[in-house]
Structure 1
């Protein structure tokens, strides 16, 4: 008895395809595109495993982790991180705010490929002049919806 085979161009699964995708290509969720990683701060879930985050939360946590890491802090990847930490003892003037914006923008463009940076603006906190508030405007690649994140940076402890 001979089995019939599907034509060579027939899809291999019954899943729907994304618009513009090849036939038979399954739809991808945001978690598939944006990834999944260990939650920050590191914790344990109710099943006793490391807590994980995915999708937009994974991107947000990756941005915060990047900005909180000083360049040179990672032994095997010394270029990773943000140079904003060089401004810890800098005066609270326009030059420092410009450098803070530049350093954050530079780090995001170099190390976070899942986003398109639209604007980075640093300003002194009106209530605490030792704190620089960095307002980051970005979009997730492939998503037109704008996002924002505020990163507080303390110049001196």
Structure 2
């Protein structure tokens, strides 16, 4: 099995390691950071790549309704399918936080195609 396909890149956020070199993320950690970058980037935010990112940021001022939840799930799935070819999205759930009604925890279960290892990433998203 060739995990080199998963790649090595700069760790996000960019920081230095103990040898004062730019810290890197390898393989599955690089995939995880890529997913986080996709979700954290609003479409149109990057000048040289305006189509990159996820449309969840269009819903920041939307009400916390079933319709909004469904659209956010759809937007997350579409962005990951478009921008992260190293994974298969298995499931996406929005977990409400009763102590913070405007916080939605986006739980993404995914499988890395090359290794077939399954992972979960929880991304916090705030409405309003």
TM-score (norm 1): 0.78
Aligned length: 128
Shift in Å, 1:126: 1.9
Structure 2 unaligned regions, length at least 5: none
Indicate the SS of the match to 2:90.
strand
Structure 1 unaligned regions, length at least 5: 1-17, 19-27
| Corresponding residue number in structure 1 for 2:97 | 125
Structure ranking higher in strand proportion: 2
| Corresponding residue number in structure 2 for 1:151 | 123
Mapped partners of 1:47, 1:143: distance in 2: 30
The answer to whether the 8 Å contact 1:92/1:124 transfers is no
Q: How large is the RMSD of aligned CA atoms in angstroms?
A: 1.2
Mapped partners of 1:144, 1:114: distance in 2: 10
The answer to whether the 8 Å contact 1:97/1:123 transfers is no
| Corresponding residue number in structure 2 for 1:44 | 16
Aligned pairs for 1:7-46 (under 5 A) are 28=2, 30=3, 32-46=4-18
| Corresponding residue number in structure 1 for 2:32 | 60
Mapped partners of 2:21, 2:116: distance in 1: 34
Structure 1 ranges of 4+ moved more than 3 A: none
Structure ranking higher in helix proportion: 2
1:32-85 deviations in Å (ceiling 9; x for gaps): 120001111110112221111111110001100110000000001111000000
Q: Which structure exhibits the higher relative contact order, with contacts defined as CA atoms closer than 8 Å and separated by 6 or more residues?
A: 2
| Corresponding residue number in structure 2 for 1:99 | 71
Mapped partners of 2:95, 2:12: distance in 1: 26
Indicate the SS of the match to 2:52.
coil
